[in-house]
Every structure is written in structure tokens, then in C-alpha cells.
Structure 1
Amino acid sequence: MRTIIIGIMIGISFISCNNKVKEIDLKLEKLTPGTTFKLDTININDWDYLYIVRPYETIDSGKYNMPESVLNKINNTARYDDGSCTLLFIKNNQLINYSIVQRNIIDFILLEPDTKYTFPFSQEYKLDIKRVVTIP
């Protein structure tokens, strides 16, 4: 019985360690201006949609079921760094990973989605000559 309990505890620990939210570097500076791209080919993790946190926007603690430390980092970046946007990759209404991107590298701020700042997994984007992202 003790062996079974220990095995279950180890399994739970392993699963919870693998489900940690991570900040990722998407290497978006390598994209060529004037081309189209999809984020599902750049961030190959399993996610459903993208939510963009714009400068001066904050999100509440209940949104996307994320650790408090990650929420604080995202909100502080949005409050104090108007030179960046944060891309949140969401699966089943839970944050999977995120990327803080500098707007001089790639600027997502002008996108106007049907639903406030959310974009589906398969969305195609265009990077213009000024490195501003639009929907083609």
C-alpha cells in the first residue's frame, strides 16, 4: 500500500512539474518584413489561441489560470514597458506559455481581432516593412 501511495505522489509531482508555465523566446526577429507567418509553426507547443496583452493593459488573477508570479510579471511589463507586448498562448482557458516581445522587433499592437485581442491557433499574420503585424 505504501508503495502505491509513493508511486502516486511521484506521478503527481512529475505531472505538475511538466505543467509549469514557461516564458519562451520565439526568435521573431528572424522573420523577414513583407512576409506572412503563422505562430503555430513558431511556437510548436499545444495551444488553442493567442491573447495579446498590450501596453498599459492588465489582466485579472482569475483569467487563464496562471501562477501569481507569472501574472505579476505580465502585468508589470504591461504597466511599465510600453515598448513591448506579451503574447499569451492559451489551451483550455489555461496559460501554457508566454512570450514578451519588443515592439521594435515585431509590433502586434495594431491588430484588431473579432474577439478582444484573441486570435486562433491557425491565424495567418503579415509582417510589414516597419515590422508591424497585420492580418492579411
Structure 2
Amino acid sequence: MFADFYHTVAILRAKELTRIVPPGLVKFHFSDNGSAAVECSLKMAFPYYFQTRKQKKKRFMCLSGGYHGETIGVPSVGSIDLYVKMYKPILMDAIHINAPDCYRCPYGKMRETCNCECFVNMEQALYLKRLRVFVMPMMYF
């Protein structure tokens, strides 16, 4: 985070990013650590939906086993009780689902034979709660 300041490296990085992101994405926010990045993402997503007249969108979905840091909003989308338990009364009501785990596949699959059976957890959560999700194409990772 630069506290609304900028410097040459940030400007150059933003220009590089404009060449690989979808057309129209021209604003960037840089954070100095993962906690701040996730916190800022949550804080940007909520007002976007509020300002676009979609006020019913008040919850976030997250995968089990996630640790995203220790700022106050971030534990809401984390799933490690050790870090979350004390703050539970003041956290957001996120939707937690089981994350795919290729290393400890509950279906006994190997990468070569995997058909993403574990994605059923997300599909069920999306269907039951009538939610939609956008998954970034691999070219952005």
C-alpha cells in the first residue's frame, strides 16, 4: 500500500499489467503484503456491489484451510480455527466450503486420473445458495 502515493516502479508495473489484463482494466491497487491485499479486495468488492444496486451481495465464499493474515476482515475468509476463534463474534458471515486437495485427495485420485470430483463441494454450495462465481482464466496466474 502506498497510502494514495505513487512511485516510478509502481507506474511501470501498472503499465505492464495493462498489456495482459482484459481491456478496460486500467486501475490497480498494490499492497505490501498478503493480508493487506486480501483485506483491500474484500473492501473493494463490497462497495462495488452496493454501488451497482446489488445490496443483497453481502457474503464471501472461501475455501477450507485458508490463512490470509490477521487484519480484522481477513480472518472471516480464513478457516484455521487457531487464528479465527477469538474474533468469531465480530467476523463476517462467510460461506466456507471444502477446498480441493490434490495431495490428500478424498477420492483417492492422482493428478493423471483426476476429473475434479472434489469440485462438487463448490457446485453444491453455489447451487444451494443460488450463487455465481467467476474464475480467472489460467493466463492470469
> Would the TM-score normalized by the shorter structure come out above 0.5?
no
Structure 1 length-normalised TM: 0.25
Structure 2 length-normalised TM: 0.24
Q: Which has the higher contact order (CA 8 A, sep 6+)?
A: 1
More strand by share: 1
More helix by share: 2
